[in-house]
Amino acid sequence: MLDIIDLSIQYGGKELFENVNLKINPSDKIALIGSNGTGKSTLLKLISGKETPEAGKIQYQKGLKIGYLPQEILNKYEKVIFDEVKSSLTNIIDLAVKEEELNNQLKNEFLSEDEKDKIIHKIGEIHDQKLHTDFYKIDSDIEKVLMGLGFTENDFDRPLSEFSGGWQMRVELAKLLLNNNDLILLDEPTNHLDLDSLRWLLNFLKNTKEALLIVSHDKYFLNEITNKTIEIFNRNVTLYNGKYDDYIEYKRERDELLIKQRLNQEKKIKQTEKFIERFRYKATKARQVQSRIKQLEKIDISDLPEYEDEINLRFQEPERSGSVPVNIEDLSFAYEADNFILKSIDLNITRGEKIALVGPNGAGKTTLAKLIAEKLKPSKGKLIIGYNTTTSYYSQEVADNLDLSKSILETLEDSAKDYTTLQLRIVLGSFLFRDDDVFKKVGVLSGGEKSRVALAKIMLNKANLIILDEPTNHLDMNSKRILQKALAEFGGTLIIVSHDVDFLRPIVDKVVDVRNKNIKIFEGDIDYYLFKTNFFEENNSQLKQITVDEEKKENRKDRKRLEAEVRNKKHEATKDLKKKIDTCENRISALEAEKEILEKELMDEKIYTNAETAKAKTSRYEKIKSELENNYEEWTTLHDELEKIEESFNKMLS
């Protein structure tokens, strides 16, 4: 499909990569990863033909059709949404134009019969092409894709120019998905999506036959879709088979092997050097010494694996707030009179809770975050910020309002008087501002860079209530991991608006879903929320095995057959789990019995007359307690998994 041969590129005098050789095949779904600034977006531009390499070449299969979604768009839109998408489908439009031209030609009364036959034959060919390209269902396909990406039918006839950049990007994505490309290049496609549209896009990309090359910092998204991973690191571009997690595991195993090889080589070198030093001046050993010197020269030292610097950042330990930092009672909010975004909301946030705000874009997540941050005032109802609660708020809007005349370092110095310059530079380094970058004026930074400066300021704050609106959109994997760890360890109260499932996993313990002008509270982590809202149901391979046709439901025989099939599938899906649970329960029973015996023995004072026996029994008792805890945890996990699977199958029978 596509061959990259000895490709090299520089950007701003900096060599991004050199002598790159890659092959992209029709069935490839590839994650393209690497730190910000390593050249991921540049590589996509090169493949799409938007930029030209300084050395090397890209060979394309004849007729290869490539679609490309950049991170930012500069288009000016004049059409309504539906027409904007349809007008991009040039293959479809061309067929309609050609057919109209041919039909007009047929109206010419001076045509010979032979000429008419030729035109009719061409019209027949166009009809065949229409069938081949799904011409007759293109309108319904456009509707499905637009609605999957979060638009409503009422939006279709609205001018696209009325919508924000994020929604315009969704329209560009819709064009790409509908255009029947051979290869799709996506640069951070999830940045402007909510969880609902993310789920739809995941399902679409998993099932598409088109090859994919995706730049994303969303690990969950990449793991669900990709089957290969390309890493750009230290000017090298390396292809790995497998999804993102497979790549991480492979790198870990490879790095362990490299370290082991290096240690063995160093050990051999030391032994050889010691032999040479000891016998260098002994004539009887001259031949052996020369042989060892040659051996030493032949040793090819393995390179040690290279890593990005690991930075361990923590938020300042905040002062303790009151037990209820935020109390919301019957709150409603409207930007325009009586056009409520949020209506009659009740929400109690207790100290130390870490909450994710999720829901469709435009439903009011950002509005609710701004209300809690006191950037907006409720139209009705109460919002009470509790005793001794100090708030720190991050959003793209905050980032855009930084003082443009100050340098990055000065911006942090103004809000962090207790920090040394070195400490501030370490914090900035974790957000990708290194060396002389810290002296750049904020005014010359991109929107993404300003966002990272604003996030760095938040980390230096001593607030005990932190509110973050889409904090990961402009972070690379490493920076995201640093922020994730810091937020997980943060001792205060946290509210995050985010659609990044992988980022939220180790952080949040409650989810608030904002939609239909109100909220629904889920007392559990992000996976609990996803399970409760059937996020995974479309992708559950066990559920995919059975499809229940509505017409067959009405037929009693078919119904019984389907029920039997569901029960059989349920038995197969749960059989191994039940065996594991039985084994675990048997272990628990045996350990509990032994624990009970030991407890009785340790209560007997006579046992302590023999110190060794007492020590052995006590040690065994502690070990059993630990083993029991592990087994109890395993039993709980297995049971939860069993309940989820059984519930999924039970729904089919209801």
Instruction: Please state, in angstroms and rounded to a whole number, the distance separating the CA atoms of residues 609 and 185.
Output: 76
Q: In this predicted structure, what is the pLDDT of residue 114?
A: 83
Residue type, 272: T
Average pLDDT over residues 571-593: 84
Q: In this predicted structure, what is the pLDDT of residue 509?
A: 94
Q: Is the pLDDT of residue 504 over 90?
A: yes
Give the dihedral sign, CA 572/576/577/582. Answer: positive
Q: Is the pLDDT of residue 32 over 70?
A: yes
**DSSP classification of residue 285:** G
Q: In this predicted structure, what is the pLDDT of residue 496?
A: 96
Q: Is the pLDDT of residue 19 over 80?
A: yes
Question: What confidence tens digit (pLDDT) does each residue in 524-538 have?
Answer: 999 899 888 887 665
Q: In this predicted structure, what is the pLDDT of residue 305?
A: 64
Contact 463, 393 (CB under 8 A): no
Neighbouring residues of 444: CB distance < 8 A, sequence distance ≥ 6: none
Tell which residue, 394, 393, 424, 422, has the closest CA to residue 408: 424
Q: In this predicted structure, what is the pLDDT of residue 306?
A: 61
Alpha helix stretches (DSSP H) within 490-610: 501-504, 526-532, 541-544, 550-554, 556-603
Token output for 185:
């290049």
Q: Is the pLDDT of residue 512 over 90?
A: yes
pTM, 2 dp = 0.68
Instruction: Please state, in angstroms and rounded to a whole number, the distance separating the CA atoms of residues 436 and 167.
Output: 36
Average pLDDT over residues 154-160: 92
Residue type, 628: L
Instruction: Please state, in angstroms and rounded to a whole number, the distance separating the CA atoms of residues 622 and 57.
Output: 65
CA 281 to each of CA 47, 278, 287, 360, 558: distance values in angstroms, whole numbers, following the listed order: 62, 8, 11, 81, 94
Cβ burial 60-69 (10 Å sphere, 16+ → b, else e): beeeeebbbb
DSSP string of 26-52, one letter each residue: TT-EEEEE--TTSSHHHHHHHHHTSS-
Beta bridge partners of 2: 24, 60
Q: Is the pLDDT of residue 584 over 90?
A: no
Instruction: Please state, in angstroms and rounded to a whole number, the distance separating the CA atoms of residues 127 and 116.
Output: 16
Beta bridge partners of 186: 69, 214
Q: Structurally, what CATH architecture does the domain formed by 326-529 represent?
A: 3-Layer(aba) Sandwich (3.40)
Question: What confidence tens digit (pLDDT) does each residue in 386-409 have?
Answer: 999 999 999 878 777 888 899 999
Cα angle value 30/506/358 (rounded, 5°) = 80
| pLDDT over 70, % of the chain | 91
Q: In this predicted structure, what is the pLDDT of residue 553?
A: 37
* pLDDT confidence tier of residue 213, bands split at 50, 70 and 90: very high
Cβ burial 244-261 (10 Å sphere, 16+ → b, else e): bebbbeebeeeeeeeeee
Q: Is the pLDDT of residue 295 over 60?
A: yes
Q: Is the pLDDT of residue 543 over 50?
A: no
Residue type, 490: F
Question: What confidence tens digit (pLDDT) does each residue in 333-361 have?
Answer: 999 888 899 999 999 999 999 999 999 98
Average pLDDT over residues 510-527: 93
Neighbouring residues of 56: CB distance < 8 A, sequence distance ≥ 6: 4, 5, 6, 7, 8, 19, 20
Long-range contacts of 165-171 (CB under 8 A, 24+ apart): 165/72, 165/73, 165/192, 166/191, 166/192, 166/361, 167/192, 167/361, 168/73, 168/75, 168/77, 169/69, 169/73, 170/197, 171/81, 171/84, 171/85, 171/146
Q: Is the pLDDT of residue 542 over 50?
A: no
Q: In this predicted structure, what is the pLDDT of residue 448?
A: 73
* pLDDT confidence tier of residue 8, bands split at 50, 70 and 90: confident
Q: Structurally, what CATH architecture does the domain formed by 1-65+180-306 represent?
A: 3-Layer(aba) Sandwich (3.40)
Min mean pLDDT across 82-96, 300-314, 414-428 is at 300-314
Q: At the topology level of CATH, where does 550-653 sit?
A: Helix Hairpins (1.10.287)
What average pLDDT does the chain have?
Answer: 84
Please state the length of the chain: 654
Q: In this predicted structure, what is the pLDDT of residue 329?
A: 94
Average pLDDT over residues 600-610: 85
Instruction: Please state, in angstroms and rounded to a whole number, the distance separating the CA atoms of residues 172 and 250.
Output: 35
Average pLDDT over residues 632-653: 75
Q: In this predicted structure, what is the pLDDT of residue 552?
A: 36
Q: In this predicted structure, what is the pLDDT of residue 557?
A: 55
User: Strands 465-469 and 55-60, how do they pair?
Assistant: unpaired
Cβ neighbourhood burial of 207 (10 Å; 0-12, 13-18, 19+) = exposed
**HSE value, Cβ hemisphere, 13 Å, CA-based, for 566:** 19
Q: Is the pLDDT of residue 615 over 80?
A: yes
**Residue of higher predicted confidence among 566 and 528:** 528
The pair phi, psi for residue 35, each rounded to 5°, is: -65, 160
* pLDDT confidence tier of residue 446, bands split at 50, 70 and 90: confident
Domain with CATH 1.10.287 in the chain: 550-653
Beta bridge partners of 17: 9
Q: Please list the helix, strand and coil fractions of the chain in percent, rounded to the nearest 5, in that order.
A: 50, 20, 30
Q: In this predicted structure, what is the pLDDT of residue 133?
A: 67
Please, what is the angle between helix 421-430 and helix 477-489, to 10°?
A: 120
Cα angle value 34/36/37 (rounded, 5°) = 105
In this structure, the number of other CB atoms found within 10 A of the CB of residue 457 comes to: 20
Q: Is the pLDDT of residue 101 over 60?
A: yes
Q: How far apart are the first and last CA of the chain?
A: 48
Q: Is the pLDDT of residue 285 over 80?
A: no
The pair phi, psi for residue 62, each rounded to 5°, is: -55, 130
